[in-house]
Structure formats: structure tokens, C-alpha cells
Chains A and B, each alone.
Chain A
Amino acid sequence: MHIADGIIPSTWCGAAHAAAWSAVYWLGRRIETEEVVRLGMLASASFAVSLVHFPLGGTSVHLGLYGLIGILAGRRAFPVIFAALLFQTVLFQHGGLVTLGLNALNMGLGALAGATLWRTGLGPESLRAFLGGFLGVLIPAVLIAAEFAAAGYGKGFFFMATLYLGAAAVEGVLTSVIVRFLRTARPAVLAVKM
């Protein structure tokens, strides 16, 4: 869910832009060209996958893969998600230029939560991958609901966030399956430190 321009107070969006651009510079520092090319390809493949819709309880959901991007890209996940959102904003008007920073913080924090959880090394790998994918969707949904509640839209968006539990579970399961597949087919992909 990308917040469009004009819906959230512009001063908040300005502050979010400052925070998001700082994070892009800070988390993207000292990056090698080889790594950037990989991140660009990862962003492209993830965006292509996110266009696929899955049936879920009479409706359909599409993936965001924020948790998987966090697992594969580590701290670089934030610049990747910022770039992907800028791409979608400019080409498809999903979200807005003023809310870009806020959208990037919402989704980037989901990805960074997934990356952090993955790197703790605690518990079985499949469970960590599931939780990474699950939180990658749920954290943005809860953050968006909190922002709408604080902006005077009431608490109804928290109800919508609970509807995202199903989508988060699907994302968690798929992230876990993808990670298991990568572990079997090419473990080196999961070992890359970014």
C-alpha cells in the first residue's frame, strides 16, 4: 500500500524525506559497482515477482518480498527499496513524490527487520525466513495504520492492518520456501555479506 501525496501532513512527509535520504546515503555508503549491479538485478526480479497475484480466501494478494530483500541484501535493503519505490512512483504513480520518504521508511523498516532477524542466527533457518517475510509485510501495514490514525483518519486502518495478516502469512511461507530453495541450489547467495 503506497500512500499518495496530499493525504498525510506535508511537514511529516518532509521529515520522513530527510530521514529516508539520510538512510539511503548512510546505508549505501562504500558500495562497490559489482554489488550495485546485483542489487539492481535483485530489485528488478523482486519487482517482476511482485506483479504476480496469488489467490487468497476469495481475493488475491501480491508479494512485496521486502523480507527476502532484507535477507539477501542486508542493510543495503533500504537503498534498494527506496530505488524501487522511486521507480514505481515515477513510472506508475504508485505513491507520490512528497510521500516517497514516508513510504520508503514504512517498507524499508520492514525489510531491515527481516534482515536483522535473519542475521541473529537464532532458531531454525526456515522459521527466521518465515518471520522475516511475515514482518516485512506486517510492519509496513502497522506503520501505515499508525500514521493514518495520528493524521486524524481514526483507527479504522488498524483493522485493515489485521487483514494484512493473511498476506503476511503467505509472504512468510513463500520467503521460507525461497530461502530453502536457495540453500539447496546455491548456498553462496545466502552467504553474501552486504
Chain B
Amino acid sequence: MTTLFQRLDPRARVLTVITATVVVVSTPSTALALFPFYLLLCLLVILTGKARPSYLAARCLAASPFILLAAGVLAFQNGPSNYPAALTVAAKAYTAIILLAFLTASTPLADLLSATRRLGAPASLNLILGMMHRYTHLFSEEYARMERARQSRSVAPLGRARYQIFGRQFGELILRSWDRADRVHSAMLARGFTGAWPEPAPRQFGALEWTYLITVCGLFLAARFLA
């Protein structure tokens, strides 16, 4: 079933999440009391889309070491007087991650690329992002195959030659990426490539998009300045 968030033009989804994130992270460090409101608003936004709570929790957990380190340093630097500021830093970081993870869980990468392109990002940036999406997994598998081949043909531990061998394997992977680039480029030209990825069926930035964007951003701004 398509949710309200998924029915929106991807540009509206991206702009909503960016604006809400900017409002949250620009909150003063003394305004810890605002974060329950932000969390409630995040929950409302999430209910308009499709994101598993376990996915959002996993993304928050993955970022925790860095966030807790920064908040911990801030808290223990000046003692208890800094605890609210440290908590605010952690709350901002987790709220931003929840919003971003919600966006990526509800929007396929092709739609995100289309949105960034239509919002004015350079075509070359989109091409690189699209190629990373298609080929990173492939190169990871290719490296794993190279590593298995090396292990099956090695009779002794790597020892001090480890860096030489890994370095040459990485170099080989770079060469394979180079060769693949030539083949892929020729194939793209053969298929009539004109300088940008084909766009998914374009959607209109209509009344629904404006209403959603203004409502959600308005609620975040109201919480920020009125609460």
C-alpha cells in the first residue's frame, strides 16, 4: 500500500526532511525541553510513511559511538552544568538520524537521485551516486572473490608481506574498475545515453506537496519558536 509520504513528489520529501533537520539542529543547547515535541512530530511524520521501527533503531544504534563520545566529552568537560547541553547534542543527533533514516526507508534511491537532480545538483554528482549504488556491491563481491582466490592458493600466513599483497590486490581492483568504466561507458553510448540517468515518471509538485511541506515544516518551526 502506498503511503501519503510515498505519494509525494520526491523533492517534497527531501525538502521536508532537510528543513525539519535544520530546524532541529539549530535549536539552542539550552532548549532541551523542546525535544519531546520534536520526537512527537517525528512520530507523526513517520506515521505518514513507511519505516520499520527496528530499522530506525538500528540506524541510531550504528551512529551511537560517535554521538555518545561527543556528548560524553561535552558533559565531563565542565561538570554537571554542561549535562543539559550534552543531552541536547545527543537529542539533536538522534532526531536528525531518525528523520534521515525515515526518508531513505520510504524513498528508493532512484527517486532521491531524481529529486536532487531536479533541485539543482550537478548531473555529474548524480551520475557518480548512481554508479556507486550500482557497482559498490559488485566491487565488494569482486574483492571477496580475489581474497578467496588468494587464500586458496597461499600455503603460509601473510606475515610481513601483508601490506604488499593487500596493496597489490587493491591496485588490481582499481584496474578492474577502470576497465569496467570503459565497457560501461561504451554500452551507455550504444544505448543512446545523453548525459543524465533516465528519470522515473516525473511527478508534479502540486497542492498535496505544498500542503505537506508547509504543514510539517510549520509544525517544527512552531515547536522551535513558540514552545
Q: Which residue of B lies closest to A51 (CB)?
A: B140
Interface Cβ pair total, 8 Å cutoff = 221
Q: Which A residues lie within 8 Å of B217 (CB)?
A: none
**CB <8 Å contact, B122 and A93:** no
Q: Which B residues lie within 8 Å of A178 (CB)?
A: 167-168, 170-171, 174
Residue B128 at the chain A interface, CB threshold 8 Å: yes
Given the interface pairs A72-B174, A153-B70, the reply to whether A44 lies near B136 with Cβ below 8 Å is yes
**CB <8 Å contact, A38 and B167:** no
Q: What 0/1 pattern do residues 147 to 174 of A give for CB contact below 8 A with B?
A: 0100011101100000000000010011
Count of residues in A whose CB is under 8 Å from the partner chain: 73
Residue B39 at the chain A interface, CB threshold 8 Å: no
**CB <8 Å contact, A44 and B124:** no
Interface hub of B21, B96, B132 (most chain A Cβ within 10 A)? B132
Q: Which B residues lie within 8 Å of A173 (CB)?
A: 163, 167
- Cα of A34 to Cα of B140 in the assembled complex, Å: 23
Given the interface pairs A93-B100, A185-B171, the reply to whether A37 lies near B125 with Cβ below 8 Å is no
Q: Which A residues lie within 8 Å of B188 (CB)?
A: 33, 37
Given the interface pairs A45-B174, A48-B143, A181-B167, the reply to whether A91 lies near B74 with Cβ below 8 Å is no
**CB <8 Å contact, A44 and B132:** yes
Within 8 A of A (CB), among B183-216: 184-185, 188, 193, 195
Given the interface pairs A10-B25, A39-B128, A54-B166, the reply to whether A181 lies near B136 with Cβ below 8 Å is no
**CB <8 Å contact, B73 and A156:** yes
Interface hub of B91, B129, B164 (most chain A Cβ within 10 A)? B129
Q: Which residue of A lies closest to B194 (CB)?
A: A33
**CB <8 Å contact, A174 and B167:** yes
Residue A89 at the chain B interface, CB threshold 8 Å: yes
Residue A186 at the chain B interface, CB threshold 8 Å: yes
Partner of A6, one of B24, B133, B193: B24
- Least CB distance from B122 to A in Å reads 6
Q: Which B residues lie within 8 Å of A181 (CB)?
A: 167-168, 171-172
Q: Which A residues lie within 8 Å of B124 (CB)?
A: 28, 31, 36, 39, 79
**CB <8 Å contact, A154 and B77:** yes
Partner of B175, one of A65, A84, A186: A186
Q: B-contacting residues of A (Cβ < 8 Å)?
A: 1-7, 10-11, 13, 24-25, 28, 31, 33-34, 36-49, 51-52, 54, 63, 65, 68, 72, 79-80, 82-84, 86-87, 89-94, 96-98, 148, 152-154, 156-157, 170, 173-182, 185-186, 189
Q: A-contacting residues of B (Cβ < 8 Å)?
A: 17-18, 21-22, 24-26, 59, 62-63, 66-67, 70, 73-74, 77, 89-93, 95-97, 100-101, 103-104, 109, 112, 122, 124-125, 127-136, 138-140, 142-143, 163-164, 166-168, 170-178, 180-181, 184-185, 188, 193, 195
The 6 A-B pairs of least Cβ separation, nearest first, read A6-B92, A177-B167, A40-B131, A5-B96, A181-B171, A48-B139
List 10 contacting pairs A-B, 8 Å CB cutoff, sorted by A. Answer: A37-B184, A41-B135, A41-B177, A43-B132, A45-B135, A48-B143, A54-B166, A84-B132, A92-B62, A97-B18
